[in-house]
Structure 1
């Protein structure tokens, strides 16, 4: 189908929720009812495939799907021939080594000659090889945390978000080996027509994400402080300055990244800025 693109998205879980939320914020309408495995947008040339996350790299590499949203952990583990178009900044986690919390941990040499259970044998194997550690890797598909307590392995390598699951299973994190976030991937050989649709989707995604990381700032300032204040909030091109009814004062409007705002807030106040308002931005087109 040359006039429509297919995107593979995880069918359930946090990554799925974040992915679909981003797509909806791009103004793309679709129905994804419970148990639905395929859906077509009503206002954008895109079809959705709802799949297991570990199947997504393969579907995109084989050209069944043109695009996919997947965690970098699955992308690297599956090692398929795809292109990474954009890191998406959500579903962040880490892949770490963990051992029973009562064990002493002298360093990575702890794992020399030991057994490690994991669902990520490639990432773990590459890490151990790079650090010249000889260990036996036991690949299991789920419930990795139980492996030490049943005698299958002395340690595990698994995805960690908060660390609470490790604690509940009597484990402690000892080495971080890989950091992951969601990424938009594509088949390496799309047609010109499909690339044009993907460009439109990327434009929308960039506008949404740029808006999320930026704030619209309004403040009042004495005119003799405007030069200093403008240097602190330069905006996309330059701030808008409007005179107030009160002589000698102006209203300054600008756009800043949230980090920039918090870095400069004290200097803005010291320069005489008052009545500072910070407003979220839904989308921002540059």
Structure 2
């Protein structure tokens, strides 16, 4: 098989896609590619003005919903707005993320864990019935190479060092746990990571962390458009299966075109997945509907 590129995206006409953090970087490129192929794309972003400007640049059928993943009230309101506007959701791309920030969310969560994991956990749960009612729907959660350095204590998943890596490991634990819950349905849960990409996710990081990442991204030609390809493949390739994880196929998964990659052994720890799921439901007060299996 040749290199998978944006030209391999099949037509998306009639599909509704929700992309978080879609006003810049990888999220913008993901939304743009989907809209170009005919999808109706909801840009779910914290700053509506920036999102509207992005929607104008993207063109096609695009709309904006305000979503602040650092606020569970905002997550609830965004989900309600999406539900009011649409009777189906074919694709949910949990893309937005922060790194280098310290402090707490509106609900008192460590901010990187709260935004990168808990906010998306709550949003997915609140939209899951629409996804389940849409044949062939997908949840794509964007993780990072950095998940390999993550450690999670299920008794206190917000504590310890390496907050960003911990949140990105949580993304993969969530992906796999959701994959099992969706077994026997027409909805799948998959994940992707961009490799090294020059995006605004590092804007709050210290120069010690930000500069090497940007240098690596440029050396490997990882523009936001290239960084979006693993997400786009996870979202649109007809051959994708539940639980799949896509990233760049090059050296150390930093550069190259998207292909199946392997997550760390911790990401496949079923007991850790289950314990994190239970804690996430408790912290967000979002209980997932029980999927109806096909006979």
- Regarding TM over 0.5, the answer is no
Q: TM-score, normalised by structure 2?
A: 0.28
Greater percentage in strand: 1
Q: TM-score, normalised by structure 1?
A: 0.29
